[in-house]
Amino acid sequence: MENIDLHNHSRVSDGLLSPTELVRLAASNGVTTLSLTDHDDVGGLAEARLAAVEAGIVFINGVEISVSWGNHTVHVVGLNIDPTHHVLVEGLLQIRQGRVARAKLIGDELAKVGIAGAFEGALKFAQNPNIIARPHFARYIVEQGHAKNVSQVFKRYLIKGKPGFVRHRWADLSEALHWIRAAQGIPVLAHPGRYEMGKAKMESLLDEFVEFGGLALEVVTSNHNKEEVEIFAQHVRKRNLLASRGSDFHGPGESFCEPGKLPELPYGCKPVWQMWSPPSTH
C-alpha cells in the first residue's frame, strides 16, 4: 500500500527532528514516499535523500515558501524541485534575509512586554541561524516560563493582534511560483483551509495561483477537518488541479499528526504524485 506524505519539516527550519530522524520516523510509520518541505530552505534535502535510500523509501525534494498575498501570509510548497537551480537558490536566500531581519524586530517587540533576550533565545533553538521562525520564539518563551506550551505562546504573543506579531513582506505569489517553476518543481498551495479569508477571496487567490502556474492544492493535511477536505477537493475537481497529501509534521509533542497518518485523498481527486510516478511504473 502506498502511503505518500508530501509536507514535513526538519530542524533545518522549524521542525524538531533532523532530516534523518524524520525520514526514519516516516518510514517506520509506513510512509512509502516522503517529501521534506522546510520553510524557505533546501539545506536538509541531501541528508534526507540519503536516509531515504537507507530506509528504502522514495524521496521527493521539497520546500515551503512564505508568500505575502495582499494582507495574508500564504505558503506555497514546491515539490520535485531542483534545489540547486540558481533562480530558486537566490529567491530563497532573499526570503531568509528578510526572515532574520523580522526576527530581530520580533525580539524588540517581545522585550516591550517583558520578555527579554528573545532574539538570542530563539536563535538558540534554531539549528539553522538563517531560519528563525515563530516556533523558535515560542519554544524559548515556554522555556522562560511565560507560557505552558507552544500553542499557548502563539495565542498570547505571536499571532496577528498580539504583542510579538510583526507584519512582514515575504515573496510575492508570482515570484514564489516563478522560482519553483524555474527549478522544474510543482507548485502546491499549502493548507488552504488555514487562511482566514472568505469564499470570494479564496476564489481570487486560486485564480491568481493558477494564472501564475500553480498546479496543485494540498487537499489532505493535518490542519483540515473533513469539511475542509471536501471543500478543497471540490476546488480541485472544478479547476482541474492536482491534489496533494501532507501532514505538515514538525515534531513529536508539537504536531498531533505524525508523518503518514492522514486520510486518503477524496474520490475524484487526481494525485499530484502522478506528475513523477506514472501508474505504469512501480
Binding residues for Mn ion, rule: CB under 5 A, are 14, 64, 75, 190, 248
Residue 255 Cβ vs Mn ion, minimum distance, rounded to whole Å = 9
Nearer to ligand AMP, 160 or 238 (CB): 160
Residue 137 beta carbon to ligand AMP: minimum distance, rounded to whole angstroms: 8
Q: Which residue, 134 or 178, has its beta carbon nearer to ligand AMP?
A: 134
Q: How far is the CB of 14 from ligand AMP (least distance, A)?
A: 5
Residue of minimal Cβ distance to ligand AMP: 133
Residue with cell 479547476: 239
Q: Which helix (H) or strand (E) holds 89?
A: helix 86-112
Question: Which residue from 257, 77, 47 is spatially nearest to 179, judged by alpha carbons?
Answer: 77
Q: Does 7 bind ligand AMP (CB under 6 A)?
A: no
Size, binding site for ligand AMP by CB under 6 A = 10
Minimum Å distance from CB 250 to ligand AMP?
A: 5
Helix (H, G, I), strand (E, B) or coil at 271: strand
Give yes or no for residue 92 binding ligand AMP (CB under 6 A).
no
Region from 47-55, 147-155, 215-223, 265-273 binding ligand AMP, contact rule CB under 6 A: 147-155
Identify each DSSP E strand in 98-241 by its residue range: 171-172, 186-189, 216-221
Contact 126, 12 (CB under 8 A): no
CB 61, CB 83: distance < 8 Å: yes
Distance CA 205, CA 26 (A): 32
Binding-site member from 134, 139, 235, 245 for ligand AMP (CB under 6 A): 134
Give whichever of 64 and 175 is closer to Mn ion, judged by the CB atom: 64
Backbone phi, then psi, for 118, in 5-degree steps? -70, -35
One-letter amino acid at 235 equals: H
Minimum distance from residue 223 beta carbon to ligand AMP (Å):
10
Q: How far apart are CA 250 and CA 8, in angstroms?
A: 7
**For residues 27 and 74, which CB has a smaller minimum distance to ligand AMP in the complex?**
74
Q: Cβ(39)–Cβ(133) under 8 Å?
A: yes
User: What residues make contact with ligand AMP under the rule CB under 6 A?
Assistant: 14, 39, 66, 133-135, 150-151, 154, 250
